Chain A
Amino acid sequence: MASNAPKIYKPADYKTTVHPDWCPGCGDFGIVNCIQKAFSEMALDPWRVAVYSGVGCSSKTPHFIKTYGIHTLHGRVLPFALGGKLANPELTVVATGGDGDGYGIGAGHFVHAGRRNIDIAYIVYDNEVYGLTKGQASPTLGLGMKPKSLPLPNVNQGVNPLAMAITAGYTFVARSYAYDVMHLTQMIKAAINHRGMAIVNVLQPCPTYNNLHNKEYFSGTIQIAGQNVPRVYKLEEIGYDGIVKNSEDTAEVAQKKEKALTQLMKLEERVSLGIFYQIDLPTYHDRLAKIIPQLKEKSPASYPIEDTRTHQPLTDLGDAYKDFLV
């Protein structure tokens, strides 16, 4: 193959030899497969990708993916991932982690990531429990719910992460399901392709601790007006379109946001998947580059700081000294 021909990657090219130690039947397998499938379909060079994670079952993800992998601290995947992207914007940065990691201990970071609109994709494995510590209620578990791992029903109300994402300023907000390979791969690709802060909340059965929202629940049907319909449906099936066509049209923006929030807060037994909201807005990097023009060409990681021969610093303090010289 000629060296300038586009490289073709198989999903297997993104696999490591590390054995995933998740429980049999865990939804995490499906998500990792879809991430690898998405990378291969996008033909991403593995060394130009950094996959970050927090701490928890799902946060072991980077070890199973052959790209740069950074497994950080509980709840802290976003600050790490954002720092990485800002330091080296050339990289494709994907943040992964669980619902407890992202919406519990990391909730503060979750909100502020929206305010900045940094170009990363955040994939949240949402199974409503803290799996690695034996199934305590996570922030997405609804009030009064009692999966088998809880001694008593949940006394906290569940959060609505995607509604939260929209109000915080995320510019790509989507939901998918761990076992819908086609859809999830498509959502992950769209999130990575989106220029800005993207979130995909992935509904992920935990076969060990969450017997309420398991595989059977998501793949089952329910009765609506005497008709059997699948529980899970795609937004496009109802003609929903959450993508803002003109980000400067404030009326359209307001209308799409409102529509997304309505859809996300709708009282229904069915579960909708797809892109709730997407808008193309200047990223944090764009905003900074207006103030710091050097950032257009050089990144903090690539900025030359020394004469590589003499090792003398390249910074000339002359201008700064003016503030202090008397």
Chain B
Amino acid sequence: MAIVNDLSWMIGGPQGTGVESSANLFARACVAGGLWIYGKREYHSNIMGEHSYFQVRVSTKQIGSHIDPVHLLATFEDSTAQIHAQELVPGGAFVYDPLLTKPENLKLAKDVILIPIDFEKIIKEIAQETGEDYLKLIIMKNTIAVAASFALLEYDVHYMEKALAGIFTGKKAPLVPLNMRVAEKAISQVPKEKIQKFAWKLKALPQTPRRLMINGVQAVALGKLKAGCKFQTYYPITPASDESVYLEGKPEYGVLVMQAEDEIASIQLAISAGLMGARASTSTSGPGFCLMCESIGWAGMNEVPVVVFNYQRGGPSTGLPTRHEQGDLLFTINAGHGEFPRIVIAPGDMEESFYDAFYAFNYAEKFQTPVIVLSDKAIANNTQSILPYDESKLMIERGVYASKETLEANAATGGEFKRFAFTESGLSPRTLPGQKGGIFWMTGDEHDELGHICEEPENRLKMDEKRMKKLNLALKEIPERDQYKFFGDEKADYTIVTWGSAKPPILDALPVLKSKGINVNVLQIRLMCPFPAEAVSKILSKAKNLIDIEMNYTAQLAELVRQETGIDIPHKVLKWTGRPISETEIVSAVTEIVQKKTKKVVLRYGL
């Protein structure tokens, strides 16, 4: 019996040979046919040659995670075969180059359908027929792999053409018919009887709205543009710089994007633009974020709005520079010496990435303090198809500023302004350099209301209090959706506590667990600082059994929950291999905890 629209497809190859493009083509064609996709990208810290792969999961409903089994593996070189052929399920299909790969040397499951394709022959024929340079056509091996895959899946080739037309636009448009010509040759090499034997099929869904096929850094870039961010700085680092480079490539939006000499300068340029009144931001990963700590403290001390994205990757030190981890939670909420208010929010998918990027600027300006958005490599680099963002409710909030009257009155009496005036809420109206009557000072030293250095004990108490109490205000005013989200039946037997990119595979696993008779609900914590202790405590104290799921060694969220609420989460599912968690892993880990009461399940699947 055919299994329709529920599939995991993989392509692999050396970095620099177009693996990403072919995955993009495959995924785009699926989305063009109304299907939903999730794409997982894995690569080495290397430009060319090392093994990389891309896994695309296809479904009839929106998904946010991958699964472990591979139903169809396509490759035009042998290292992918050596590494990934073993992941193919029984009855799966394997598209390969028989000149390079000998299936008898591979560990293959039962009944794997072998689809040898003579890649070279197709490219040579096309070169001959069109007079194109053979070397320039080699990249089209990707198209061959995708086309052969669609032949096996009996997916309408029209969607592949549609996807190609979306990729090759303008001057590159003639590449569409050329690629289709290659595709037809590839399709003709896939024998009918093997197509019939292969159980997995893709079928376009009728009449679906257009979707965004987007990764996390792109989602953030769009959110920043929408928020009116006009000043973005960065220092090259994986996986964060893609976001800045994307913005750099969009000069029409008027964002001043600046590549700084290091992350120290990056954050300081942004802070200074922030105090001038610009919506300013910088994006980095763990190592760069470490370098920014002193400056973030300065911004906290001087109540300057600035937005910092920390896309976590495997640490410590250089760690696993192109791999995934959620290891910076406790570090980020404590980053910098001394005590100062900061807001830390963690998105879990491509939707939250956009909205968090947008609201981060509101929070930074409203609460006059640094906002750190704690994302990660899985969100940054993986691709998801989602419905277009709902922009209708997005409103810009710029915080409190001195009135015209105040400025005029001040200008008449010397022009100095108490930027750090003591107020009930802790928020003091701002002025911006260039405004007459608004002159203030800022300093990393403790200061008085004007911003001059002041070491008086009483002033210290009041000024510290003024800054810190903004956290209470933030907790009161930040909407619930940005503090935490609760999913599932309130009366479920198990409550999973999680954050960030660990969320989507858990949500994807819920119906699977339910079908096995395991009823689970989920608390995704989004606001890490200030921590919504009361709300979390209320939810968790009602829960019957608690499971913490996150991607680090020390279960940092569980630690934070215990610190803030006193509640201990007895069961933990952890992964820190550098590879994100799959839906498959969540199902088996939760099942194990339910059946065997295991305290700690360590996940390790994925290459």
Contact = CB atoms under 8 A, between A and B. Distances in A.
A1 interface: no
A317 B276 contact: no
B250 A325 contact: no
B268 A72 contact: yes
B391 interface: yes
A87 B277 contact: yes
Interface string B313-346: 0000000000000000000000000000000000
Nearest to B432: A301
B439 A83 contact: no
Nearest to A292: B251
B254 A298 contact: yes
Given A291-B251, A306-B398, A326-B210, A76 B295 contact: yes
B415 A47 contact: yes
Given A88-B276, A315-B228, A324-B212, A69 B269 contact: no
A53 B451 CA distance: 14
Interface stretch (A58-66, A205-213, A238-246): A58-66
Given A87-B278, A313-B396, A315-B253, A69 B225 contact: no
Contacts of A109: 261, 264-265
Contact of A79 (B264, B280, B443): B264
Interface in B218-266: 218, 221-222, 225-228, 230-231, 233, 250-256, 258, 260-262, 264-265
B211 interface: yes
Contacts of B57: none
Given A317-B225, A325-B212, A326-B166, A86 B273 contact: yes
B7 interface: no
A216 interface: no
Nearest to A295: B256
A300 B452 CA distance: 27
**Majority secondary structure, A binding face:** mixed
A62 B441 contact: yes
Contacts of B250: 320
Contacts of A71: 441-445, 453
A181 to B, nearest CB: 25
A300 B278 contact: yes
Contacts of A305: 227-228, 230, 279, 396
Given A72-B444, A300-B278, A300-B280, A108 B262 contact: yes
A314 B228 contact: yes
Interface residues of B, number: 77
Interface residues of A, number: 65
Given A86-B256, A315-B228, A326-B210, A63 B441 contact: yes
Contacts, number: 220
B394 A312 contact: yes
B268 A80 contact: yes
A79 B439 CA distance: 21
Interface in B267-310: 268-273, 275-280, 294-295, 298
Contacts of B212: 321, 324-326
User: In the complex, which of the residues B212, B227, B230, B270 has the most CB atoms of chain A within 10 Å of its own CB atom?
Assistant: B230
A183 interface: no
A301 B254 CA distance: 12
Contacts of A291: 251
Contacts of A52: 272
Nearest to A18: B452
A68 B166 contact: no
A315 B439 contact: no
A91 B277 CA distance: 13
Nearest to B451: A69
B436 interface: yes
16 contacts: A63-B453, A68-B441, A69-B439, A70-B275, A81-B272, A84-B433, A88-B433, A298-B254, A311-B396, A312-B394, A313-B394, A313-B396, A315-B225, A320-B250, A325-B211, A325-B212
Interface of B: 28, 31-32, 163, 166, 210-214, 218, 221-222, 225-228, 230-231, 233, 250-256, 258, 260-262, 264-265, 268-273, 275-280, 294-295, 298, 385, 388-389, 391, 394-398, 411, 415-416, 432-445, 451-453
Interface of A: 16, 18, 45-48, 50, 52, 55, 60, 62-63, 66-73, 76, 78-84, 86-88, 90-91, 108-109, 111-112, 288, 291-295, 298-303, 305-306, 310-315, 317, 319-321, 323-326
Q: Which 5 A-B pairs have the closest CB atoms?
A: A305-B228, A83-B272, A83-B269, A87-B273, A300-B278
